[in-house]
Structure 1
Amino acid sequence: MGMRDKYRKPTTFRCNAGSRCSMSAVVWSLVGFLLFLHLYSLFSHNGGKDGEIQFHSSHHPLIRELEQVEEDNIQIPPPRGKRSPRAAKRRPKRTTTLIDEFLDENSQLRHVFFPGMKSAIDPMNDAGNNSFYYYPGRIWLDTEGNPIQAHGGGILYDEMSKTYYWYGEYKDGPTYHAHKKGAARVDIIGVGCYSSKDLWTWKNEGIVLAAEETNETHALHKSNVLERPKVIYNDRTGKYVMWMHIDDANYTKAAVGIAISDSPTGPFDYLYSKRPHGFESRDMTIFKDDDGVAYLIYSSEDNSELHIGPLTEDYLDVTHVVRRILVGQHREAPALFKHQGTYYMITSGCTGWAPNEALAHAAESVMGPWETMGNPCIGGNKMFRLTTFFAQSTFVIPLEGLPGSFIFMADRWNPADLRDSRYVWLPLIVGGPADRPLEFNFGFPVWSRISIYWHKKWRLPSVWRA
């Protein structure tokens, strides 16, 4: 392990009498040498193209609009009533934060975080200039006019049908606590599935994996927990495979569940649940690489670290290979994607249903080592950025034809009424300079900055939609 020597003696430069040696000349020579090494490392990593070093060019004009920073300053209203002097002495006044307002179901700002049905996104009625606009945090209706129920979800693009499928938790039930100190939860209803050709208009394909109503020993019994379903297609077997987080009401089971189907719209047959590699598994996702190898990424060891490992060829189990990553960093809600040979991942902190700061990570190999690059959120205001726009990561959708462009999918959880949780979809762009030097040398990583841009209202370029 390379470490800096705090006790290294300073280097002295001896010059002969009459020479023009200066410290500034030595420093600038050193800077030039380091710059040369950095350019050489870029060339050797990318291999060049036509014998030339490849630099990041400016983004395509079609996506420059998505990179415009939009501010959103929310003012905390004054309290509705003054407290008596006695009450003030008993409970010292604490400054109210936007997170407090967000979590308070009686807050005067409730409509800001969770707008009502009047402002719902309705693709069937939003014609003309209002078409294809995403409004993060608003209610989003399917083609039948009902709120989409696909929380903690992921997207599968099916090559055969040229269709996007959105799978997520169908939370259309009352929210309650299993016991006084238990987490807010709803009974399992199942995994919802929606289909789309344009990522904006979504048809309800029904519940593709349903809860078990009577057998209390079954992993999918309605009293248990089903979260973060993700589906990938296995080219070898021709099967659609779903992985999900399976737990009991107290979140002590900490397992994964696997289901399989011949069709993207199900029904999916539930196979079994297990603790992968013998470890606890809570927030999780799966990632299918370009070579067809799929990986499971999950929070483990009381959410203090992430584990990652390849699946078997049929995607129905994990292999014996596993790697611990981001050890001691307490990250969850992983969303992993790839761009130009580099692996990227967005994670959240561990604060229950309360929003927190996202971090971006990058690696040259999916198995690591992974470098943390910092907070990718841009725009809004400081509190927006520190709360991932009051949402939590769940998936990243690549946009074919728009290099370096993705959609960041996140959930704005409503712990008071989980079925009314909202979706925050925002443009994610890979590009720009590296965030910071590597920790123990003067070089910069070969990967680029990840930026998630806040917009109250935005849409994909018309060329992509066509």
Structure 2
Amino acid sequence: MKNAFLVTALLGLATATQAQRTAFEPGKVWPDNHGTHLNAHGAGVLFDKGRYYLFGEHKIAGPKGNSAQVGVHCYSSKDLYNWQDEGIALAVAPAGSGSEIEQGCILERPKVVYNKLTHKYVMWFHLELKGQGYAAARTAVAVSDRATGPFRYVRSYRPGAGQWPLGFQDEWKQPVPGEAALKWWTPEWRTAVAAGLFVRRDFAKGQMARDMTIFVDDDGKAYHVHSSEDNLTLHLAELTADYQDFTGRWSTIAPAGHNEAPALCKRGGKYYLLTSGCTGWAPNAARSFVASSIWGPWRQLENPATGADADSTYHSQSTYILPVAGKPDAFLFMADRWTPKNPIDGGYIWLPLSFEGDQPRLRWADRWSLGVFDQPRPKATAAQ
């Protein structure tokens, strides 16, 4: 009995000691309150009632872990360093159930926002139906009465069915003879993509939606940003007032630019978008964009990463930009280091996002704390 008491006491002491992190250490093992590496990949963060909630893909060991075997994992924190395991917020349905989110589907990049009108927590994620690879290209929504869940699956969408994007010219609504045979990546092909080649192709059934994020603006309107047109073009679509459907207003960003992994923030009245290129699981150089209106036009800037390994975004891929609560114009860049052969080992790269004029900047740090945001920083300039 004494030995059992001693073991329990030591375990409790280890857990308490584990919970005393005071800084971020990008790329290193990040233990939760149980001492287990965080299992929340492709994540987003919700700040609600003084607490942060982290939602991400729950991975398992081995290649099978690249599909959804468990669901969306949730953690909570008061300081962003130390995370408490809150369990599975959205569980996949049993194999063979016929559900769109049954075990073995692909469920990626979950993002949760709170709706002040309905008092519901709304989760969006990229969904690929089981056994179809990446052919479905859908986005899906689930809701909950509590931040930690359980979330109830609602449905999936192909956005924009039967709706043209904003600014789409009348002459673009009819196919051009021979355009489907154009060789990819040629100037003629890029011109055809910008003039709606793939938008027309998917007009009736809805546009593809893969890598995605959700952004809630200052006025409470929410937007869904996703990689579409075979990952060639980003689409930005306005959500309904309850955040569970699309209004039908949408626009394209960087046609044929081949962007994915979108992450969005707002500073000084301007909108900033960080993305990656499309190189599968392999990392690449990040891209950045700025716009004075969320509907564009979006102007492409430089690779935001600097220093060694900037050409691979420090061996990672963007997933979210988190505004730090209580610190004006302070943003935290969140990214993943994917390990597809053993997905559960995937790491996390969280770095402070700074700005040089309109240019977002990332600089590597082996260890850093939120105190960096207390240092003097350039002031944001209002959108013109």
**Does TM, normalized by the shorter one, top 0.5?**
yes
Distance 1:412 1:462, change over 3 A: closer
Question: How big is the shift at 1:404?
Answer: 3.0
Q: Is the 8 A contact 1:173 1:186 kept in 2?
A: no
Q: Is the 8 A contact 1:394 1:411 kept in 2?
A: yes
Q: Is the 8 A contact 1:186 1:418 kept in 2?
A: no
The reply on whether 1:407 has 2:332 as its aligned counterpart is yes
Question: How big is the shift at 1:132?
Answer: 1.5
Q: Is the 8 A contact 1:346 1:360 kept in 2?
A: yes
Alpha-carbon displacement from aligned partner over 1:23-65 (angstroms, at most 9, x marks no partner): xxxxxxxxxxxxxxxxxxxxxxxxxxxxxxxxxxxxxxxxxxx
Alpha-carbon displacement from aligned partner over 1:140-178 (angstroms, at most 9, x marks no partner): 1101111111100100000xx3110000001124324xx
Alpha-carbon displacement from aligned partner over 1:121-155 (angstroms, at most 9, x marks no partner): x9943688xx4121111111101111111100100
Equivalent residue for 1:355?
283
Q: Is the 8 A contact 2:67 2:107 kept in 1?
A: no
Question: How big is the shift at 1:401?
Answer: 4.1
Equivalent residue for 2:220?
292
Q: Which structure has the bigger radius of gyration?
A: 1
Within 5 Å, give how 1:254-269 maps onto structure 2.
254-269=137-152
Q: Is the 8 A contact 2:90 2:152 kept in 1?
A: yes
RMSD between superposed Cα atoms in Å? 1.8
The reply on whether 1:223 has 2:113 as its aligned counterpart is no
1:125 counterpart SS class? helix
The one of 311, 314, 320 aligned to 2:239: 311
Distance 1:373 1:462 in 2: 24
Distance 1:401 1:390, change over 3 A: same
Distance 1:256 1:462 in 2: 36
Q: Is the 8 A contact 1:254 1:282 kept in 2?
A: yes
Within 5 Å, give how 1:10-29 maps onto structure 2.
none
Equivalent residue for 2:83?
202
Distance 1:359 1:463, change over 3 A: closer
Q: Which amino acid aligns with 1:168?
A: G
Question: How big is the shift at 1:463?
Answer: 8.8
2:370 counterpart SS class? coil
Alpha-carbon displacement from aligned partner over 1:272-328 (angstroms, at most 9, x marks no partner): 112111101100111000100000101001000000011011111011111011101
1:209 counterpart SS class? strand
Equivalent residue for 1:5?
none
Q: Which amino acid aligns with 1:206?
A: G
Alpha-carbon displacement from aligned partner over 1:378-416 (angstroms, at most 9, x marks no partner): 23x1xx100000000000111244343211000000121
The reply on whether 1:333 has 2:221 as its aligned counterpart is no
Equivalent residue for 1:157?
47
Distance 1:289 1:463, change over 3 A: closer
Question: How big is the shift at 1:456?
Answer: 1.3
The reply on whether 1:144 has 2:42 as its aligned counterpart is no
Q: Which amino acid aligns with 1:261?
A: S
Q: Is the 8 A contact 1:123 1:132 kept in 2?
A: no
2:341 counterpart SS class? coil
The reply on whether 1:168 has 2:56 as its aligned counterpart is yes
Equivalent residue for 2:311?
386
Q: Is the 8 A contact 2:236 2:253 kept in 1?
A: yes
The reply on whether 1:279 has 2:207 as its aligned counterpart is yes
Alpha-carbon displacement from aligned partner over 1:54-91 (angstroms, at most 9, x marks no partner): xxxxxxxxxxxxxxxxxxxxxxxxxxxxxxxxxxxxxx
2:344 counterpart SS class? helix
Within 5 Å, give how 1:359-370 maps onto structure 2.
359-370=287-298
2:33 counterpart SS class? coil
Distance 1:284 1:456 in 2: 28
Q: Which amino acid aligns with 2:62?
A: P
Q: Is the 8 A contact 1:152 1:394 kept in 2?
A: yes
Instruction: Provide the identity percentage.
Output: 45
Distance 1:124 1:460, change over 3 A: farther
Number of aligned residues: 314
Alpha-carbon displacement from aligned partner over 1:206-252 (angstroms, at most 9, x marks no partner): 00100111344211111210000000011111000000000034111
1:378 counterpart SS class? coil
The one of 301, 322, 325 aligned to 1:373: 301
1:321 counterpart SS class? strand
The one of 314, 321, 324 aligned to 1:396: 321
Distance 1:186 1:207 in 2: 16
The reply on whether 1:135 has 2:25 as its aligned counterpart is yes
Equivalent residue for 1:459?
369
Structure showing the higher strand proportion among its residues: 2
Q: Is the 8 A contact 1:174 1:186 kept in 2?
A: no
Q: Is the 8 A contact 1:295 1:310 kept in 2?
A: yes
Within 5 Å, give how 1:74-153 maps onto structure 2.
124-125=16-17, 131-153=21-43
Distance 1:285 1:163 in 2: 21
Please report the TM-score for the alignment, with normalisation by the length of structure 2.
0.78
Please report the TM-score for the alignment, with normalisation by the length of structure 1.
0.65
Structure 1: gaps of 5 or more residues: 1-121, 177-183, 434-447
Structure 2: gaps of 5 or more residues: 1-13, 161-205, 375-384
Alpha-carbon displacement from aligned partner over 1:337-365 (angstroms, at most 9, x marks no partner): 11111100100000010000101111001
Distance 1:214 1:188 in 2: 9
Q: Which amino acid aligns with 1:135?
A: E
